[in-house]
Structure 1
Amino acid sequence: MSKNQVSFLFIALFLTGCQTNIAPSESHPLQEKVSESDPKSVSAELTPVIDTPDVKQTTAISSAERKSRAAERVTLSLIAQGEYALSVDRLLTPEDDNANLYFQAALGRDPGNFKATQGITAIVDVYTQWAWDAARNRDYIQSARYLEYARSVNPEDPVIVEMTSRVKDLKAKRERTAKVVSKKPEPKEPQIGQYLLPETLFSLSEDEIIAQIQPIIDEVAKTEQAIEIYWPNDKQARLIYQIINSRVTAFRVRAMTYHRADYMVELKQD
C-alpha cells in the first residue's frame, strides 16, 4: 500500500468517527409551538393590533363643529347690532336696521337665547316708560301709541298690561278732579235777613267795602238785631263785625262768627 493511500484511509476514518459522535440538538420551544399550531394563527397572535381612526367620521365631526361655530358667530353679531341699535333708540325704525329686528333674528336662529330675550324685554321697558311719561304730560294719544309699539315687540309681556292700567287710572283720576274743580256750587238765593257779600270783598277799595256792607249797617241800626257772620277767614270776619259795629252808634252790635265759606251776614231775631 502506498503512502498516499494510507493518508486517505486515515482521513476517511476520522470523518466517519466525527459524524457518529455528533448528538442531535434539542428543538427550541418556540419552534415546537410553531410546528404544532397553524402558522397563520401564530402570525395573527404575534401581530400587534393598531386602532386607526375613521377618516370619514373625523372629517364629518370637524365640519359640523365648523358650521356650529359659524352659526354662533352670526348670532353674536346680530345681538351686538341689536344692543347698539337699542342704545341709540333705534327700536323699531328704520325698517331694516333696528333693535327689534336684530334681536328677533337672533331668537330665530337660537330660540331662548338669553341676551336676545333681554334685548326684547329692554325694548318693551323703554316704550312703556315713554308711555308713562307721555301720560304724565297729558298726552294720552302718544301714550297709547307707545304702548301699541310695545305690544308689537312682545304682546305677552306683563309690563304692558300693568302700564296700560296705570295710564288709565291716572287719566280717570284727573278727569274726576277736573269735574270737581269745574263744578262750582250754585249761588244761594238769600232769604229775608240774609246778605251775601263777594268772596273778593277785601280785595276791593275801602269805599267799595263800605258800599257792600252799608245795607247791613242800615238794617241793624233800624231793627237792633244781632248778626251772624259766615266767613272762612276769622280775621276778615272780625273786621266785618268791626265795620258794622263802628257805624252803628246807638248800641253795641251783638254778633257771632262761624268759620264757613258762605260769605254771608245774617240778621237774627231775639
Structure 2
Amino acid sequence: MSKNQVYFLFMALFLTGCQTNIAPSEQGEPRQEKVSEPDPKSASAELAPVINVPDMKKTTAISPEQIKSRAAKRLTLSLIAQGEDALSADRLLTPEDDNANLYFQAALGRDPGNFRAIQGIAAIVDVYTQWAWDAARSRDYIQSARYLEYARSVNPEDPVIVEMTSRVKDLKAKREHAAKVVSKKSEPKEPQVGQYFLPETLFSLSEDEIIAQIQPIIDEVAKTEQSIEIYWPNDKQARLIYQIINSRITAFRVRAMTYHRADYMVELKQD
C-alpha cells in the first residue's frame, strides 16, 4: 500500500470517529417542554358565578283585566286622598265640584265598602252634628237645624244624627220650661186677703219710705191683733221688719214667724 493510500485511510477513520462523538452530545442536551398558556375564556368560566337569566318568553304576561283593575284602584285612592284634603279644609259640601262628600261618595261608587271612604263620610256627619250642637248651645236653633239637615244629606242613616237631634230638642225644651218658670215668678202676684207684698228693694229706701210701705200692715195688726208670718230671703231683714211692726204697736206684743223664702210678703194669720 502506498503512502498516499495510507494517509487517506487514516483521515477517513479520524472523521468517522469525530462524528460518532458529536452525536451523543447533541442527543444528551435536556429537552425543554413547551408550557401552554391558559385559555382566558376557560379561566373566566371557572371563576364567574353562574347566573340564571330568565327566559323572557316564559314570563307571565299581565292581562288587560289586571291592568284595568290596577288603574281603577289608583283612581279610587286618588279620590279618597282628595276627599281627605277637602275634609281637613272644611270643604264638606261646597264648592259643588270640589268637596269632601263628592270625593268620598265617588270612591264608594267605584269601591262599595271601602273603609277609608266610609270613615270619611262618617267624619263629615260628625263635623255637622258638632256644629249643630254648638249652634244650639248658642240658642241659634235655626242654624242648628240647618247643620243637621246637611248631615242627613250626607248619610241619612247615620245614628249620630238621630242622637244629636234628640239632644238639641231636649236642650231647647229645658230652656223653654226654665223661661216659663222665671216668667211666672216675675209676674206680680195678686195678694189675697191678709197678704201684703213689699218691694224687694225695701231696705234701699229711706227710713220714711220704709215706714210708709209697712204702715198698712201695722194698722191691720193693731186692729185685729193677728199674728204675722214674714216670707223674706234675708233673715236679718225679716227680723228688722218684725221689729218695725212690733215697735209701732204698744197695746200688745206681736206674734210672728219668719220663713226663708223669696216671696217678699207679710201675711196676717187668724189665731
Normalised by the size of structure 2, how large is the TM-score? 0.70
Equivalent position of 1:142 in the other structure: 143
Equivalent position of 2:97 in the other structure: 96
Query: Matched residues in 1 for 2:154 and 2:203: separation?
Result: 61
Whether 2:84 is the aligned partner of 1:77: answer no
Can you list the C-alpha shifts for 1:94-148, whole angstroms capped at 9, x where unaligned?
Answer: 1111111111111111111111111111111111111111111111111111111
Paired residue secondary structure (2:257): strand
Residue type of the partner of 2:228? E
Equivalent position of 1:22 in the other structure: none
1:1-270 residue pairs with structure 2 within 5 A? 58-59=60-61, 61-184=62-185, 187-191=189-193, 193-220=194-221, 222-223=222-223, 225-233=225-233, 234-249=235-250, 251-268=252-269
Asked if structure 1 preserves the Cα contact closer than 8 Å seen for 2:124 and 2:151, the reply is: yes
Asked if structure 2 preserves the Cα contact closer than 8 Å seen for 1:225 and 1:268, the reply is: no
Query: Matched residues in 1 for 2:163 and 2:107: separation?
Result: 27
Query: Matched residues in 2 for 1:214 and 1:186: separation?
Result: 21
Q: CA RMSD in A?
A: 2.6
Can you list the C-alpha shifts for 1:206-229, whole angstroms capped at 9, x where unaligned?
Answer: 221111112333444x54825313
Query: Matched residues in 2 for 1:111 and 1:266: separation?
Result: 76
Normalised by the size of structure 1, how large is the TM-score? 0.70
Residue type of the partner of 2:191? E
Query: Matched residues in 1 for 2:195 and 2:202: separation?
Result: 16
Residue type of the partner of 2:130? Q
Can you list the C-alpha shifts for 1:173-227, whole angstroms capped at 9, x where unaligned?
Answer: 2222222221246623342x5433223322322221111112333444x548253
Asked if structure 2 preserves the Cα contact closer than 8 Å seen for 1:224 and 1:253, the reply is: no
Query: Matched residues in 2 for 1:219 and 1:158: separation?
Result: 66
Can you list the C-alpha shifts for 1:40-62, whole angstroms capped at 9, x where unaligned?
Answer: xxxxxxxxxxxx9998x944x34
Question: What percent identity do the matched residue pairs reach?
Answer: 81
Question: 1:104–1:266: structure 2 CA closer, same or farther, 3 Å change rule?
Answer: closer
Paired residue secondary structure (2:123): helix
- Of stretches 226-235 and 105-114 in structure 1, the one that deviates more from structure 2 is 226-235
Residue type of the partner of 2:209? E
Asked if structure 1 preserves the Cα contact closer than 8 Å seen for 2:227 and 2:256, the reply is: yes
5+ residue gaps in structure 1?
A: 1-51
Paired residue secondary structure (2:254): coil
What is the aligned length? Answer: 215
Query: Matched residues in 2 for 1:140 and 1:269: separation?
Result: 52
Paired residue secondary structure (1:89): coil
